[in-house]
Amino acid sequence: MISKHLNDELNQQITYEFYSSHLYLAMSGKLASVDFAGAATWMRTQAEEERIHALKIMDYIIEAGGEVLITGFEDPKVKAKNIQGIFEQGLEHEKFVTSRINFLMGLATEEKNYSAVNFLNWFVNEQVEEELNADTIIRSLKLIGKDGNGLYQIDKELGARIAVSSTTTQA
């Protein structure tokens, strides 16, 4: 069983993960509209991953005997207009998600809920990877600057990101 407090906060996290999915989908649309088809594909894949994160938490709540509550959220806003700015906004968002995962981990630890700690460990590792991915892309974009060839090349590389299956929560 999970406590009501942890259950509520996990439900809140489901909302954040679905919001993340919408935000990345909005970024994908924006990138496609400024002719970065590869980066748009990368963002669309990221949106799918976020949806899987939400489903993973949902499955855990059910397994732990809790109650799932799905709620709505505000419209995602893509503030930046260029590719570097969009990835920077993505990184800022991931830092927020990391702070949420750390908060959930703190709560589970405080409650001595070691099953939840074990479950959340996957998200701790995932956040390290997600921040690193965004940071690596931003560093490359900074090096490339306005060089057309470089931008063409990185867009091609981003477009090669392999899509995850949308039917599994094992990602």
Footprint of ligand FEO (CB under 6 A): 17, 20, 50, 53, 94, 97, 130
Nearer to ligand FEO, 1 or 70 (CB): 70
Q: Which residues contact 150 (CB under 8 A, 6 or more apart)?
A: 143, 144
Q: Of the candidates 59, 58, 126, 133, which has an alpha carbon nearest to the alpha carbon of residue 91?
A: 133
Nearer to ligand FEO, 48 or 50 (CB): 50
- C-beta nearest to ligand FEO: residue: 53
Rounded Cα gap, residues 39 and 21, in angstroms: 15
Token readout for 136 is: 């690596």
CB environment 62-75: b (16+ within 10 A), e (fewer): eebebeeeeeeeee
Nearest approach, Cβ of residue 64 and ligand FEO (Å): 19
Q: How far apart (Å, rounded) are the C-alpha atoms in residues 103 and 94?
A: 14
* Complex with ligand FEO: residue 52 or 151, whichever CB lies closer: 52
User: Is residue 142 classed exposed, middle or buried when 0-12, 13-18 and 19+ CB atoms within 10 A define those classes?
Assistant: exposed
Least Cβ distance, residue 16 to ligand FEO (angstroms) = 8
Nearer Cβ to ligand FEO (23/83)? 23
Shortest Å distance, C-beta 50 to ligand FEO: 5
CB 130, min distance to ligand FEO, A: 4
Nearest-approach distance from CB 97 to ligand FEO, in angstroms: 4
- Residue 11 vs 20, nearer CB to ligand FEO: 20
